Structure formats: structure tokens, C-alpha cells
Amino acid sequence: MLSSVDLNNGERTPLELGRVLAVRGSEASIGLVEWSWTNPEETRTTVGQFLGIRGHNKVIIGVVTDSSIQGLPVARERGYAVNVSVDLMGELRTDAKGKVHFVRGVTEYPSIGDAAYLISQDELKAIYDISSKATIDIGSLQQDTSLRAYINIDEMLSKHFAILGTTGVGKSSGVAVILKEILDGRPDLRVFLVDPHNEYGRCFGDRSQVLTPANLRLPFWLFNFEEMIDVLFRGRPGVDEEVDVLAEIIPLARKAYASGERATAGRRSDSRGYTVDTPVPYRMNDLVGLIDERMGKLENRTSRTTYNKLLMRIDSVTNDPRYAFMFANANVGGDTMSSILSQLFRMPTEGRPMTIMQLAGFPVEVVDSVVSVLGRMAFDFGLWSDGKLPLLFVCEEAHRYAAADRSIGFGPTRRAISRIAKEGRKYGVFLGLITQRPAELDPTIISQCSSLFVMRMLNERDQALVRAAVSDAAANLLGFVPSLGTREVFAFGEAVALPTRLRFKEIAAERVPRSEAVSETETDFGSTVDQAFIDQVVDRWRTATLSSRVRNEPVVEPEAPAAAPPRPVRGARDLQLTLDADRYKLLKKSAAKG
């Protein structure tokens, strides 16, 4: 029963395993002859394996999705003991020069009785070894670890990608592998990584700049109206009367600043109307001045209360040292937008094409608006520059910023990410999303990601979501997802020729993403905890709940007293003790209760 399939110039004669017994749509049923399932390792046929079906002039490649001893009685009579289902994925064609190419999709379906065989390593190589300038090597194939797993970087970037999987399976490490390869392979591309847990600081060496509240300058006037309201009301919905006042006076403050600039800088005078959202500078004291002026004209005491409350709100936020990254120099002015954009998005790259935006040190109630501003600016810069400077925007914990449940999170952040997902590719802004809770991520955003890296996932809802996002043929493979090991990933979509089960490269221990908020030494759960450590914990705890500074370096403060005196830093280890956003939220809750 041996048949020779002359695909690799007759180098190897693959063993026939069985014959096609039924074909339905893109699925074929193959009866295996008895010896092929009792035979040595090499010919064992199981789910996830590739089979070749010899057709006319080509070999159809399918992946085994189901294997069972149940079969048609008529097949049994003919000696076919095992029945396997295969999803037909593509074809291997031999060109005039004898070179074998893999093409996705099936042009000619198999017929009953066509021979099926286990594909050779050369054929596997022809399918996966798409090494070229356009590909990056991110690991090894699970089916044959001697073969590299390549992904097509242009396809992956231009149509967005997502990395999904439960906690601890190696998502962040996978991100580190992929981004490192991207930095190597596409030095022209700039990468902006949103890092909510301050994990990536050490992963990319001197090819990245790390931004924290200590060295980021994101002036308040870059915030659009909704974002500003979110900041002033500290993450709670705004009070209507106060919001109305702001809606009226922010454009005036912007205009006032612009006309002052014109007078001094002698710029061309124009009478353009400024909106609340126009990203031009204004001064905080102009805003306060306008509120004062309006309040002075009021006679009604209740309306004065609204203005007073608003003034107090502005005063408290602008004087909060944790907000110095946006309110430092709030009254000085100066149009720094170009320099801020060039710092944030590495223009020019100067050998560091990557920005790691560490969020764990920011006041928790402002993180959403910060991500919103950054995502919006990344998109808008692409839009107004006609995509001349391509940027990859990578967002960890994406379900926090673009939640499926619209009542969770901050609308503008979701919209900023959704805009990149929907239109970014036209303007050279690409998206990479990472989440451990795919079912909680906005499905319209996930559906825009054409390459998915699926890691171990146990939750049925998460799996259902991924199943809906991949092709029918690929969906059958998702059955393996709950059993994937750490570092193992199923890659689907545009970036790979076929759904590929692979293992990410190993990263050197010192480059593995690791939260800097956690001690660097191995946790030994209590046996050597000293008093100094507990003191530090208490210190951080109090510092955070007193809303004093939790920053590493001194910053230029707006000229106002801090809510509480800054505490002295007690040693080198304190420098790594930035506060995780989740923990901060918990602390806030318990403080409110107590």
C-alpha cells in the first residue's frame, strides 16, 4: 500500500496512511489502515498533525482535528480501522523549477479514494519556512522543534494583532520576543508600549526610553474636554452645571492664550474659533480668571456655589503633586506640542525607536485619561502626517482600556483604541493588544485584529470569543487551547501561512518582563522578611493614601503646598516600589470604608 508522492524531487517517499472516504466543504474524512496507528512514533496520527492528500498535480494540506475508531462499516470491511477528520488548509504546488510552494486555500478538493500521507519535514519546511525580509523568527514549531516559526511582520502589523491567554502563560514574555524581533527587523518603525504594571523597563535595553510620571510631561491643555472633565472630577462623572461652565470657558482660555501669543510673537492674526478640544495651549490662571470674572457678575448665590466648587476642584487638582506631570508650568504657557510628540513617539528615533509608558506610578484615577490622550495623539499624528512615520501602539491589559461592557472604563480611551483598530492602518498606526480576558475586551476591536496569538485559555467565554474571531477551519484547532503549555501559542490569521502551534523563544532571565513593584529577589514567602521591609510597605501604604507623591525623582512642582509633606526616601530599594494601579484602587476602597 505504499505510494510515492513525487513532491521533493523524489527525495523521500512518504508513507501512505489511508484514503479519503468522505469530503464535506473544507473537511475531509480519512480512513487509516490498521498499521498506521499501531506503528512507530513517526507515523502516529493525532489531532494537530498535518496530512497531505495527493491530488492532481498538487498536494492538499490538511490538519487533523478529530481522530476516532468509529467509522463507516463499509470502511471497516475494507481494512480502514480509524477515522480521522482533517480541515483542508491549503496546497503545496511544485513550480517549473521543481520548487515547492505553499498556497493558502484549496482550489481543488480531494476525491474519494485519494491517498493521504504524513507530510515530510521538507514539506513542513515549505509550508512554514517563509523566512525572508518580511518575516521575523519568534520561536520554534511545536510539530518539529528543529524548524523555526516565522511570522510575516508586514501582514501582522498592518492588520493589527492580539495576544490572548490566561494569566502566567507567557503573554508578556511573548510580547517581549515579538517586539524585540520587530525592533531588529523594522528599525524604521516606532513602537509605543503601554505598560500598566511597569514590567518592561529592562526588556529592550538601550533601544527604549522609559516614561514615568517623573519624566513625562503631558500638559493639561493636550487633554480634550472629556479627558479634562475626567481629570478634574477624578474619574467620576462631572457635575452638569460645572461641566457647562467649563465647556464655555475653555475655548475662551485657549483663544486668549493664542491671541496673546500672536501679539507677542507677531503671528498672522486670524479669527478661527477655538473649540474645547483644539489642542492649543492655555494657561490655568487664564481659566481661573475667566471663572472669577463670570462669578463676579452673578447675583444669585446658588449659581455662585457652582463656580466656587469648580474653582476648588481646579485648585485641588492643580496643586496635587501627583498631577505634576500635567500641571507643572500650568501658568507659564509655551507651545510645546511638537517637542512632546517627538519625545513620546521617538521622532527622530535616535537609536531608540521605542517608548515604554509605565503607568503604575500615576494616580489611579487619571490613568484612563492618560491612555486616552496618548492613544488619541498617536492616531491623530498618523492622520495629520499622512502616515509618514509608522507607529506600532501596543497596549497591555487591553480589556481595562477597551472593555466590552460600556459601563466599565472610560469611553474616550475605548474610542481612542477603537479608532486605531478601525482606521489606523490607513495612517500608519498599528495596534497590538494583550489581554488575559478576551471576553471582556470590546469585540469590535478584537475583530479588527487579523493576527491572533492564542495561548492557554480555560474560560469557555474566552474560547468562544476567539472561536468566533477565527475562520471555521481554524476554529476546530481551538480545542487544544486549554492544554497549551507555558510559552506555547497558537498563531492564527494573516501573519502565518497556516494556523501554527509554536513555542516562543526563550528570553534571558534578566530580560523577562517582571513587575518592578515586586521584589527582584525570589519570593520565599516569609522566611526572611525583615522589619525594614515591613516598614517600607507601611510607608508606601501611607504615602499613597495621603495622596502624597509616589514618585522616584523630584519634579518641578506648581507653586503650591503639597497635600502632605513628601516623605524621605529610605534607600535604594524604595526606588523600585512604585504602586500598582490595582493595589491603589484596593487601598482607596479600604480607606473609604474605614
Residues that bind ligand ATP (CB under 6 A): 165, 167-173, 177, 436, 486-487, 504, 506-507, 512-513
Q: Which is nearer to ligand ATP, 244 or 510 (CB)?
A: 510
Report what 339 binds from ligand ATP, Mg ion, none; CB cut-off 5-8 Å by kind: none
Least distance (Å) between residue 514 CB and Mg ion: 9
Of 195 and 226, the one with the shorter C-beta distance to ligand ATP is 195
Burial degree of 384 (CB within 10 A; 0-12, 13-18, 19+): exposed
Give the nearest distance from C-beta 416 to ligand ATP in angstroms: 23
Indicate which of Mg ion, ligand ATP, none lies near residue 400 (CB less than 5 to 8 Å, by partner kind).
none
Residue 178's nearest CA partner among 145, 149, 211 is 149
In the bound complex, what is the minimum distance in angstroms from residue 423's beta carbon to Mg ion? 28
- What single-letter DSSP state applies at residue 569? P
| Phi, psi (rounded to 5 degrees) for 88 | -85, 125
- Tell how far CA 514 is from the center of its chain: 17
What are the residue ranges of helices labelled H in 234-356?
A: 240-265, 284-296, 301-319, 324-327, 337-344
Q: Which stretch binds Mg ion (CB under 5 A): 163-171, 221-229, 367-375, 411-419?
A: 163-171
Contacts of 585 (CB under 8 A, 6+ apart): 364
Q: At what angle do helices 581-593 and 531-545 cross, to 10 degrees?
A: 70
Min. distance of Cβ 169 from ligand ATP in angstroms?
5
The amino acid at 1: M
Nearer to ligand ATP, 98 or 485 (CB): 485
Cell numbers of 82, please? Answer: 480509524
Q: Which does 470 bind (CB under 5 to 8 A by kind): Mg ion, ligand ATP, none?
A: none
Enter the C-alpha cell of residue 501.
502551534
Q: Which is nearer to ligand ATP, 167 or 302 (CB)?
A: 167
CB of 172 to Mg ion, least distance (A): 3
The CB-of-488 to ligand ATP minimum distance in angstroms stands at 9
Cα 213 to Cα 217: distance, rounded to the nearest angstrom: 8
506 binds, among Mg ion, ligand ATP, none (CB under 5 to 8 A by kind): ligand ATP
Q: How many residues bind Mg ion (CB under 5 A)?
A: 2
Report the C-alpha gap between 273 and 191 in whole angstroms: 35
Nearer to Mg ion, 45 or 172 (CB): 172
- 145: Cβ–Cβ under 8 A, 6 or more apart, which residues? 503
DSSP letter, residue 441:
B
What beta strand segments (E) does 126-195 contain?
135-141, 148-152, 161-164, 190-195
Comparing C-alpha atoms, which of 239, 204, 224 is closest to residue 276?
224
Query: Shortest approach of ligand ATP to residue 172 CB, angstroms?
Result: 3
Q: Which of the listed partners (Mg ion, ligand ATP, none) does 535 bind, with a CB threshold of 5 to 8 Å by partner kind?
A: none
522/509 Cα distance (integer angstroms): 12
Q: In the chain, what are the helix, strand and coil shares in percent, each to the nearest 5?
A: 40, 20, 40
Between 61 and 394, CB nearer to ligand ATP: 394
What DSSP line would sit under 373-434, residue for residue?
HHHHHHHHHHHHTTTSS-EEEEETTHHHHSBSSTTSS-HHHHHHHHHHHHHGGGGTEEEEEE
251 binds, among Mg ion, ligand ATP, none (CB under 5 to 8 A by kind): none
Closer to ligand ATP by CB, 67 or 515: give it: 515
- Please, which residues have CB within 8 angstroms of residue 98's CB and are 6 or more apart in sequence? 9
Give the nearest distance from C-beta 167 to Mg ion in angstroms. Answer: 7
Cβ of residue 375: shortest distance to Mg ion, in angstroms? Answer: 20
In the bound state with ligand ATP, the residue whose beta carbon lies nearer, of 429 and 465, is: 465
Rg (CA), the chain: 29
Nearer to ligand ATP, 63 or 203 (CB): 203
Binding of residue 65 to Mg ion (CB under 5 A): no
Question: What, of Mg ion, ligand ATP, none, does residue 487 touch, CB below 5 to 8 Å by kind?
Answer: ligand ATP
Least gap, CB of 171 to Mg ion (angstroms): 5
DSSP class of residue 41 equals G
- Which CB atom, from 175 or from 429, has the smaller least distance to Mg ion? 175
| Shortest spacing between CB 35 and Mg ion, in angstroms | 46
Residue 319 contact, options Mg ion, ligand ATP, none, Cβ 5-8 Å cut-off depending on partner type: none
- CA dist 442 → 350, 404, 446 (Å): 36, 4, 7
54 or 171, CB closer to Mg ion? 171
Q: How far is the CB of 432 from ligand ATP (least distance, A)?
A: 14
168 binds, among ligand ATP, Mg ion, none (CB under 5 to 8 A by kind): ligand ATP
- Which burial class, exposed, middle or buried, applies to 588 when counting CB atoms under 10 A from its CB (0-12, 13-18, 19+)? middle
> What does 507 interact with, of ligand ATP, Mg ion, none (CB < 5 to 8 A by kind)?
ligand ATP
Smaller CB separation from Mg ion, 85 or 173: 173
Question: 153 exposed, middle or buried (CB, 10 Å; 0-12, 13-18, 19+)?
Answer: buried
HSE-CB at 549 with a 13 A cutoff on CA atoms is: 24
Site for Mg ion in 167-186 (CB under 5 A): 171-172
- Which of Mg ion, ligand ATP, none lies near 322, with the C-beta cut-off 5 to 8 A by kind? none
Return residues touching Mg ion (CB under 5 A): 171-172
